[in-house]
């Protein structure tokens, strides 16, 4: 039986861990990020991977920082055949990567060499890509720079958000990993180097990126909304207050109103953006309120605005 050290943290990694168990890989240890306090009540929460590992009765390791932790020596002493990582969230020391008998591989949520880094799925939406995918790659010291064992493409649909793509790519990554591992085990040198001329990066989303600005076109604004759904959410500043926008739709209508103006409120709440483009808000969340359909917003806070009025703060 081939042995594996599995490393992952969010929901994206859970189907991949379960897939390895169901296909009779011996999981010698599961490494995940430490428990954290979350929410207003600061309740300590386990990572989704830790919850799954405990349900499967697998040993769990949670070093704060793996490179200098006592857990590192324990993991090396496991002498596993493979390391499999999926959105773990920490760099892995080279001596650890080299400690396994066959290979250290990663399930990455992009078509490398596009979008190396921590937010590849979000950037595929931000950049308006027509497709994304998963890559099974060799783990090396430099982030996401290893050679490629296999890739599979996924078409992005108009209604897709980061949340829906995470779910789809997680399952696609699981299936591609299980399909590819036997080939890696048979010949770990059968891999293709990344084309360095095509490398792009996807750094973690910053606070500044969360604001929808009227200098964007309606299409760019909608791409941002989709990329930041379900977390952290993109927002407009209207009348000095934040209005999160969870869903919107680009309208084919054109307008001569200045960007940031209210174009229509007759059953829809439409705003003008750069180049005369128009975006219909579909689901919003005023500060301190729950998410709501835009018709509820129109019956409340939205009712005070006048068509033609510039309401979005720059």
Using an 8 Å Cβ cutoff, are 174 and 16 in contact? yes
Which residue, among 192, 75, 91, has the nearest Cα to 137 in the 3D structure?
A: 192
Q: Single out the residue of 211, 278, 283 nearest to residue 242, CA to CA.
A: 211
Q: Give the number of residues written for the chain.
A: 314
List 262's β-bridge partners, or say none. 271
110 is in an annotated binding site: yes
Tally of CB atoms within 10 A around 260: 21
CA gyration radius, the chain? 23
Interval 198-247: pLDDT, tens: 999 999 999 999 999 999 999 999 999 999 999 999 999 998 999 999 99
What is the rounded average pLDDT of the residues 127-156? 96
Distance CA 85, CA 8 (A): 6
Contact predicate 8/88, CB 8 Å:
yes
Cα–Cα distance between 296 and 170 in angstroms, integer? 34
| Neighbour-count burial of 173, counting CB atoms closer than 10 A to its CB (0-12 exposed, 13-18 middle, 19+ buried) | buried
Start-to-end Cα distance in the chain? 60
What pLDDT, on the 0 to 100 scale, is given for residue 38? Answer: 82
Section 271-279 average pLDDT: 97
Write down the pLDDT at residue 29: 97
State the DSSP H helix or E strand holding residue 137, giving kind and residue range, or none if neither: strand 131-138
Q: Quick one: pLDDT at residue 71?
A: 95
Is residue 111 a known part of a binding site? Answer: yes
Asked if 124 contacts 112 with a C-beta cutoff of 8 angstroms, the reply is no
> What's the token pair of residue 225?
């909304």
Q: Is the backbone of residue 42 left (phi > 0), alpha (psi -120 to 50) or beta?
A: left
User: In whole angstroms, what is the distance from residue 219 CA to residue 212 CA?
Assistant: 11
40 has pLDDT over 80: no
- Angle separating helix axes 14-22 and 162-186, nearest 10 degrees: 40
C-alpha–C-alpha distance, residues 78 and 28, integer Å: 7
Tokens of 278: 């128009």
pLDDT of residue 284: 97
Do 44 and 36 contact (CB within 8 A), yes or no? yes
Would you say 17 is a known binding-site residue? no
Average pLDDT over every residue of 20-37: 96
50 HSE (CA, 13 A, CB side): 13
């Amino acid at each position: 039986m081939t042995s594996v050290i599995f490393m992952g943290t969010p929901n994206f990694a859970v189907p991949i861990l379960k897939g390895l168990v169901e296909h009779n890989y011996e999981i010698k240890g599961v490494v995940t990020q430490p428990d954290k306090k979350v929410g207003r009540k600061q309740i300590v929460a386990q990572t989704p991977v830790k919850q799954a590992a405990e349900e499967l009765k697998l040993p769990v390791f949670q070093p704060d920082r793996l490179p200098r932790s006592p857990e590192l020596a324990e993991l090396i002493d496991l002498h596993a055949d493979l390391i499999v990582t999926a959105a773990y969230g920490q760099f892995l020391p080279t001596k650890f990567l080299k400690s396994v008998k066959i290979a250290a591989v990663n399930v990455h949520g992009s078509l490398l060499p596009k979008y190396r880094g921590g937010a590849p799925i979000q950037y595929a939406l931000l950049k308006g890509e027509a497709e994304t995918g998963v890559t099974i790659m060799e783990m090396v010291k430099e982030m996401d720079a290893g050679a490629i064992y296999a890739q599979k493409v996924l078409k992005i649909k108009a209604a897709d958000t980061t949340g829906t793509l995470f779910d789809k790519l997680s399952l696609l990554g699981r299936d591609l990993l299980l399909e590819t591992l036997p080939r890696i085990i048979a010949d770990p040198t059968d891999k293709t180097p990344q084309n360095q001329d095509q490398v792009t990066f996807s750094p973690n989303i910053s606070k500044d990126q969360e604001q929808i600005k009227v200098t964007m076109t309606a299409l760019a604004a909608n791409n941002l909304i989709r990329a930041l759904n379900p977390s952290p959410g993109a927002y407009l500043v209207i009348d000095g207050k934040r209005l999160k926008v969870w869903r919107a739709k680009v309208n084919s209508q054109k307008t001569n109103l200045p960007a940031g103006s209210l174009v229509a409120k007759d059953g829809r709440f439409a705003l003008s953006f750069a180049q005369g483009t128009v975006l219909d808000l579909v689901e919003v969340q005023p500060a301190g309120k729950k998410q709501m359909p835009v018709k509820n917003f129109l019956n409340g806070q939205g009712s005070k605005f006048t068509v033609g009025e510039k309401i979005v703060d720059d």
